[in-house]
């Protein structure tokens, strides 16, 4: 049985697209994150418009990823997938819907250890790139790069290290100020034995100005520093 490691997981997720909504100031405690879910759930159930769908999915993903044990996350990802399915039906060209659909569907696929979910996840990433290649710092390319990097190669699955490298390179055009991208790309280079190149990339990521308004900024710095130690 395969263990699929897919993005926006990736130990991490894309940036919070709805972080400017005042409710997100509560996200630094479990109860606060639950209140965010409740807020968007009410909008989802009463309005049911595009924004309430993807924002509800985003809130479910945030709480599950940050505050639940892995074995307890599945119901949240299942609800998030349903919300994203509705979002892309309501707005087929909406990048937010496809971004969070990719993330939560990927996490659910990983939890189910379902290799048959990989082609759909690749399709979702391709759709996001088609709609807006620059969206969320080139998140579509990062998601696709992770798939190519982590999945087994042909004939078992879609794994392709050259395609992964090309997608990371393209993502850097859109996400030069995204610290987490430097971690993903640096990890990939380190896996390929390119320690010197990875080290330069990691140092660039660490040199990015801290964002005091982002509670995840320090976590990303910690991950980059840990990766830097592996380059020595």
Q: What is the pLDDT of residues 132-141, one digit of tens each?
A: 999 999 999 9
Q: What is the pLDDT of residue 153?
A: 80
Q: What is the pLDDT of residue 10?
A: 46
Q: Is the dihedral of CA 102, 105, 111, 115 positive or negative?
A: negative
In sequence order, the 6+-apart residues with CB closer than 8 A to the CB of 68 are 76
Mean pLDDT of the chain: 89
Residue 84, helix vs strand vs coil: helix
In sequence order, the 6+-apart residues with CB closer than 8 A to the CB of 154 are 160
The C-alpha atoms of residue 82 and residue 215 are separated, in whole angstroms, by 28
Q: What is the pLDDT of residues 94-105, one digit of tens each?
A: 999 999 999 999
Q: Beta partners for 153?
A: 159
On the question of pLDDT at 167 being above 80, the answer is yes
Q: What is the pLDDT of residues 1-32, one digit of tens each?
A: 344 444 434 444 567 788 889 999 889 899 99
E strands, 55-144, where? none
Q: What does the block give as tokens for 106?
A: 């990927």
- Matching CATH number, 1-175, of 3.40.50.720, 3.10.20.340, 1.25.40.10, 1.10.260.40: 1.25.40.10
Q: What does the block give as tokens for 204?
A: 């660039």
Q: Look at residues 67, 144, 150, 61 and name the one whose alpha carbon lies nearest to residue 108.
A: 61
Residue 2, helix vs strand vs coil: coil
Residues 224 and 199: beta-carbon distance below 8 Å: no
DSSP state of 192: T
- How many angstroms separate the first and last alpha carbons of the chain? 34
Q: Look at residues 45, 75, 41, 47 and name the one whose alpha carbon lies nearest to residue 59.
A: 41
DSSP structure string for 11-47: TS----TTTTSGGGGGTTSHHHHHHHHHHHHHHHHHT
Model confidence pTM above 0.85: yes
Q: What is the pLDDT of residues 73-83, one digit of tens each?
A: 999 999 999 99
CATH 1.25.40.10 domain range(s) in the chain: 1-175
Q: Beta partners for 159?
A: 153
């Amino acid at each position: 049985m395969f263990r699929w490691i897919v993005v926006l997981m990736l130990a991490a997720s894309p940036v919070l697209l709805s972080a400017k909504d005042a409710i997100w100031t509560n996200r630094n405690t479990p109860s606060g994150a639950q209140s965010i879910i409740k807020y968007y759930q009410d909008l989802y159930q009463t309005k049911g418009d595009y924004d309430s769908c993807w924002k509800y999915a985003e809130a479910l993903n945030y709480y599950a990823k940050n505050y639940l044990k892995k074995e307890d996350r599945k119901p949240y990802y299942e609800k998030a997938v349903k919300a994203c399915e509705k979002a892309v039906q309501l707005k087929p060209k909406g990048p937010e819907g496809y971004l969070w659909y990719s993330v939560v569907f990927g996490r659910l696929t990983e939890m189910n250890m379902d290799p048959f979910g990989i082609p759909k996840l690749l399709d979702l990433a391709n759709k996001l790139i088609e709609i807006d290649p620059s969206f969320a710092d080139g998140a579509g390319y990062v998601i696709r790069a992770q798939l190519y990097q982590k999945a087994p190669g042909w004939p078992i699955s879609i794994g392709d290290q050259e395609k992964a490298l090309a997608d990371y390179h393209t993502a850097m055009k859109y996400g030069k100020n995204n610290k987490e991208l430097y971690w993903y790309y640096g990890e990939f280079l380190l896996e390929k034995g390119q320690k010197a190149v990875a080290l330069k990339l990691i140092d660039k990521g660490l040199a990015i100005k801290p964002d005091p308004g982002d509670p995840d900024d320090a976590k990303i710095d910690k991950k980059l520093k840990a990766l830097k130690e592996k380059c020595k």
